[in-house]
Amino acid sequence: MKIKSMHIKSMHIKSKLTKEFFNRDTVEVAKLLLGKVLKHGKTSGIIVETEAYKGKEDEASHAFKRTERSGLMYDSYGKFYIYFVYGKNFCINVTAEKKKAGAVLIRALEPLSGIDIMKKRRKTDDIGNLTNGPGKLCQALGINKKFNGTEINDKIEIFNTDLRPEIIKSSRIGIQKAKDFDWRFYIKDNKFVSVR
DNA sequence: TCTCAGATCGTCT
DNA sequence: GACGATCTGAGAT
């Protein structure tokens, strides 16, 4: 399958990621997810920004303390952890590294397919404003809490591609207010960037 | 019962 | 770019 998008001249979508893909170091998962395709229904996008939460080692992670909600991260890898924030937005994470209760937040996508559907859901025609934030991408792809705890590729899928971070040309992606993020990775101007 | 959330959007400068 | 309002629900007390 060959797909075209605004910024990416051509790419090939390959197989779906396996559950075992997520059974490794959380930071490594965050890096490797860049350039993969996140798909739900007819909508999909290329993952261009991720952030690793190292579970029990990371104060910023929901899994720093085990609660009913964060228990999912302790008990699994390769499942979607979706939570609701600020009374408005959902954020999508994939659990990883079961031993440490890690998870990777998907922060931004490059829209790929179902763009008209995304525009309707987001109530905007501005393509650059469809999936450039964790809450926005959930809204654009129709992802909400009912998918919390679902297995990878059950309802929401992630595909391998032949894209490498260095060949992705992304016109967006700025860092939001810098806080003490330890593990953020993204792609800007064809370059793979990590931020501390 | 209370607090506040690793976001978003509109408004102002 | 900075800042305030938003206003549900999980977790703490």
Q: How does residue A193 score in pLDDT terms, banded at 50, 70 and 90?
A: confident
Which nucleotide has the least CA–C1' distance to A177?
Answer: B6
Non-local CB neighbours of A42 within 8 Å, separated by 6+ positions: A113, A114, A117
Question: What does pLDDT average to over chain A?
Answer: 82
**pLDDT of A196:** 53
DSSP E strand stretches across chain A: 2-3, 11-16, 37-40, 43-53, 80-85, 89-96, 102-113, 156-161, 184-188, 191-195
Which tens digit of pLDDT belongs to each residue from A22-35?
999 998 898 899 88
Residues A167-192 pLDDT 10s: 444 433 333 333 444 567 777 666 66
The closest nt to A85, taking CA to C1', is: B5
The answer to whether strand C lies under 7 Å from the CB of residue A69 is yes
Q: How far is the CA of A12 from the C1' of C3 (A)?
A: 43
Nucleotides of B under 7 A from a protein CB: 5-9
Q: Is the CB of A60 under 7 A from strand B?
A: yes
| C1’ B7 / CA A86, Å | 7
Q: Is the CB of A64 under 7 A from strand B?
A: no
A166, pLDDT greater than 60: no
Report the predicted TM-score, pTM, of the whole model to 2 decimal places. Answer: 0.88
Q: Which residue has 């051509």 as its token pair?
A: A10
Distance A2 CA to C6 C1' (A): 41
pLDDT by residue (tens digit) across A46-95?
998 888 888 888 888 898 889 999 999 998 999 999 999 888 899 999 99
Q: Which amino acid is at A183?
A: W
Q: Which of A97, A96, A111 is nearest to A38 (CA)?
A: A111
A172 touches strand B (CB under 7 A): no
| CATH of region A2-187, choose from 3.10.300.10, 3.40.50.10440, 3.30.300.30, 3.40.50.300 | 3.10.300.10
The distance (Å) linking the CA of A65 with the C1' of B1 is 22
The runs of H, that is alpha helices, within chain A are 26-33, 71-75, 115-122, 134-141
